[in-house]
Homo-oligomer: A and B are copies of this chain.
């Protein structure tokens, strides 16, 4: 299985979805190295654009994403990971999903559940 890493500086977007509830939890980026690490370890591993390094999701928080299913899109340039989210939350803000805010009548409203306080997790 060969993905197309040529379109955006060697990176492809990876959508992370809760395998059970089907909630979309987050989106992050993968390069070849993180894709290989994900397949090998069974744990979602990304490329951190801000830190420019391999990023095992949950390495600080313990909130690892265990891979359940992997889908690839029609152009081989996006992947969909269905995961079991350990610790109950994907977002560094402590919300279950990074998409915890909804647009309602032009305003942004917080609708997502907060599972942890970042102060307790990132020390």
Contact = CB atoms under 8 A, between A and B. Distances in A.
Nearest to A74: B98
B17 A24 contact: yes
Contact of A92 (B15, B74, B98, B102): B74
A78 B27 CA distance: 7
A116 interface: no
Q: Which 10 A-B pairs give the minimum distances between C-beta atoms?
A: A22-B22, A71-B99, A70-B103, A73-B98, A80-B99, A74-B98, A27-B78, A13-B13, A72-B101, A1-B108
Interface of A: 1, 7-8, 13, 15, 17, 21-24, 26-27, 49, 69-75, 78, 80, 91-93, 95, 98-103, 106-108, 111
